[in-house]
Structure 1
Amino acid sequence: MANQGSVYVHGKHLPDPGPLNQVFIDKFYEDFESTLGKGALEFQDIPVKEVQDKDVTLYVDQHEYAVVCGDDSRGITKLGSDMATTCHIVILYHAATKVAGVAHFNGPRAAEAQDPVTRHGVVAMIDDVVREVVDRSVGFPGLIELDLKIVGGFTDKQDLSRLLSVHLLKDFDFYRPPLGLPNVTFNLTLFSSSKWNTKQLEDDGLESYDSWIIGGAVCDADTGEVVPAQFVGDSRAPVIARRGARWMTNVPEYPNIYSIKDQSFVLQSFFYRRKFDDIPHLLSLSCQQLKDKLSTSPRVEAEGYCEYTRAALRFILDNPDPLLSITPVKLQAQIMDGRLTWQ
């Protein structure tokens, strides 16, 4: 029997993690070029789905995760994320129970040997997915096998994507369930990330530079299908400015933003761990200047970045102490005439 918490690709285990991240990731690319590398190219050939506000799809923002079930006839069964330039989008799926989880990891901003914040998010997401699988299983499963897909990131100059790839792969491989939950293995079936999600572009001066290929994905929990995606219009609702302010101010926890039981969006109160003393100045900058100041990938940032960032900055400016000025959010999902609204 496979060791608990292990990540496999077509039955083959990940390389020995070892102490050196570069050795690990180089061996990973070498071992799985013919499987995951080929699969990334096939995934990138799928047309990008434009998710609109009329679509019944839950948006997962940076530093969040959510879990849904495809058998939920009253609630949301599709979820996804985008704008993953140096970030990674992680999708977990259990085919028998149709339980799906999506997380958006933004990772460390430096070459840290350990990344406890990302590890917390990985563990919290897996635990919640497994609990939902157990609740929907006949009898207590001794071992749960989950499909694992990772999308987003590219070979950026700061090496942030590669670092995040290493942290995520190791964190999933090292996962151990808490008392009361069964053992888990992960079948890594898609890795359209970092090296395998990079293309070269040229500027007006014909200087070449790297960019990302796929920056978003959406999962249908009813079928398990995952396709490239971009969210447009108001499809990133609800309260997206508040959610952006939350992760931009370094709130460490990864929250589960959706309650399957109540079919509701949930976000608890938080306080800022990072202070922005120059918000009026930041809001006065041009879009490119704002990217240069705050983005991890200013040259190839995703569409909508500046609008999203300015909304989050205005929220911070209007709510200097969110514990005093805002309350926890709980909004009921309302699905009428094929359209999702929050009340």
Structure 2
Amino acid sequence: MAIVTHSSVIFCVMICLIGIVSASNVIPSATTLVSSLIPTPNYSELSSTFYGTRCPRALYIIRREIIAAVSRDRRLGASLLRLHFHDCFVQGCDASVLLKDTPTFQGEQNARPNANSLRGFEFIDSLKAKIEAVCPNVVSCADILAVAARDSVATLGGPIWGVRLGRRDSTTANFNAANSDLPSPFLNLSGLIAAFKKKGFSADEMVALSGAHTIGKAKCAVFKNRIYNESNINPYYRRSLQNTCPRNGGDNNLANLDSTTPAFFDSAYYRNLLFKRGLLHSDQELYNGGSTDYKVLAYARNPYLFRFDFAKAMIKMGNLSPLTGNQGQIRKYCSRVN
């Protein structure tokens, strides 16, 4: 079967430039070479060196804390990547997802896709406090989320990419948009394509970003219908999941999104889909006789293509509607406005 990919010569170059970062490696301190290969939108007030003179230790502090925390709890890396995604897909990358509800303010944390699901808020608060102690009122929560997502992926063995900085934090949140704009795990392929298209992503980019499910866990409540009522699922995989998730009860029990190598950021997620081992309905929809089958096959056969495309899509996602200049604020505490 032919592999849909670029030439091997191109990928020899890509391997050298993107690099394979294992969990035991130290993440390179400089903004990485991926960004020099991938065209990035020209946001005049975002820059890879934004904190070079304003807070030169900021990126080091984030990297140090991520390596230590994710080494202790590898699931935290997936949670921080998801926080960044759930932030950017609702009114842009502005840290609105971090704002907690108050008697006079409704945030996004209790929207259906987020409630009792998102994790890592306390870690971000702790990280922000460490940076504030060194550089008060300089580094935004939105930038912390973007860098933490990148460094989490790298610590778990995934690719690294350049993060443009200078985002500011919102003073608003959008509960309704969190309910409507975040893709549901129950969507069919057409719904997934439409949800990502709304944010400016192609179907191919949607497949690449879905590879984030190579790490992390999901609650039984979001895949129980799949393992009891759907047919396009490996029977042995189905039975193993039914042991974790009984038909009645157990909705908060957890299963790995990637049943093969759940602690490492790799392309096993796509290989699982080839054998009908997608945990979520939306996962298996990527390889179910539809228009994205070829891309899943390409990533399953060529992990370097996935790494490159994932990094490229993450750069694009991190630049969704940032607040810059005089917009927004630099929050002292990420969970509330100043």
> When the two structures are superposed, what TM-score results if normalisation uses the length of structure 2?
0.26
Q: In proportion to residue count, which structure has more strand?
A: 1
Q: In proportion to residue count, which structure has more helix?
A: 2
> When the two structures are superposed, what TM-score results if normalisation uses the length of structure 1?
0.26
